[in-house]
Structure 1
Amino acid sequence: MTVTTHVPFGASLSHEAYLQIREKILRGQIPMGGVLSRRQLAEELGMSFLPVTEAVQRLESEGLVESKPRVGTRVRIPTPNDIRDRYIIREALETQSARLFCERASQLERRGLQDMAHRLDEEAGRVSPDPSSQYAYQSFHLQFHMQIAHWAGSTLLCEMLEKNQLLVFNWLFDINAESSMPAGRHTELATVLTGDDPDAASLAMGNHIRWGMSEIQEAIARRFSVSLPPIGRMARETPASQRAAVVKPKKQTAKKAAKKASKRKSA
């Protein structure tokens, strides 16, 4: 999966714009909830308005950004249910890739995965909150998981992971929740995947993916729900003219109530 601004030969301007805007989002230059100005992006990328608009529409169709009338376009803030659903789909695909890897991978590929896992855990111990450091680590983390799917020998699994942007969403969830894994987690995962038990490999991947999901849900909800209202629900005060038109119910005094009661009795 491409996560840098490297553009394939012959790619359209809209695809180039798509890659560069997505990288800005992944680097945190446009944070969750951040507004995307098509005209400003066109100026920054040195492009016309049209390819940038097409790129933003593609990002919107993938769920990374959202547009609403009178609000504009911004990086989408996921709800806890959004996060859960992404995890469910990712787990379904990656547990299968783990099973297939365990069954099919060559000895060379198994050693390659162990080496990647060891280097990834080393990087996890050195990564800092700096956006450049986070970007480098998350890039390598994404490559690690995609490599498992590739060595599993299923082109369709790789395409499904890429098409649904599942690892890109995981990247965004991690950096916005400031999540980090315990030391050695990827080495432990690789040890099981390079063994001879496909069921154990599938289970280990499921546990690996689900780890910390509830904490990430809560962290993102805490970070964004208070300071930023749900998109499309703009808080508007009732205009003074409308407030004046509201007819308030008349209050009954005790004296008037007693007089009415007396009349009813005499009748």
Structure 2
Amino acid sequence: MVALDADHEAWTAAQSSTTAVVDGNELDVAYYEAGGDNDGPPAIFLHGIPTWSFLWRGIAPAVAEDRHVIAPDLVGYGNSQRSDDFDRSIRAQTSVLSELIAEAGYDEVDLVAHDIGGGVALRYAAARPEEVRKLVLSNAACFDSWPVEFINSLGVPGVVEGWDDEEFEGKMSFLFAEGAHGEADPEFVAGMRAPWARDGGRTALSRAAVATNTNHTTGIDYGEITAETLCLWGADDVLQPIDNAERLADAVAGDAAVVGLDDAFHWVTHDRTETYREEVRAFLAD
């Protein structure tokens, strides 16, 4: 198990890999996996942009004490495949999720998702409501709430590729700034920045930004989602405000609750790790 204070290199070392076929492309998918044959369906953790499964380092290992957990890197992100020849959109990521679940032979899963990972979870839960028991959504891309201006700017040709090292580090520190005072936690920033700092990473980040498509969440039939849903939200987020959580709770067909965590912004899993972890464990255990 990866400890809470483990860095991104230890998380990478703990990952395994598999493949998924999307639009005829066989793509490498890296994932973190822990836990045994515990009670309940497996819990699958989905990150967003521009993060990777390292986002869940303080959450997934603890949940693995209760059940089997899997936290993949979305294709185009983290240690998954990042070449230029495939789609990285929510539609494509949902296809990857479907393949991973089918390959593992799961009949039912719980999904815990953040940012565009939330869009993936929502799209999957609406298409296969009988396969999703519980759904945790955190500061999720939904309806027409995204992409935000900063992510849009990353997709402009040449912008990210044109940053020098100092500018790149400054942008990442700004994006992952912690709390109301805008202070960035060095370990968190370093972990989130690491995949994009490798060769080809800035191009991969630009490709991920270009692939954001509002139509992939506006087109979801939210009323088809029957999973019991917890909108566990960073209450002070300005990128995905908590009003979106209320809108989601009203839209889904299953029982839904909204829990706002104060002093938490978009990176709620980092800002309020302990409380977030216990809320997730309690919700999935019911």
TM-score with structure 2 setting the length: 0.27
- Higher strand residue share: 2
Tell me: higher relative CO, structure 1 or 2? Use CA pairs within 8 A at least 6 residues apart: 1
After TM superposition, the score normalised by the length of structure 1 is 0.28
Task: Judging by fraction of residues, say which structure has more helix.
Answer: 1
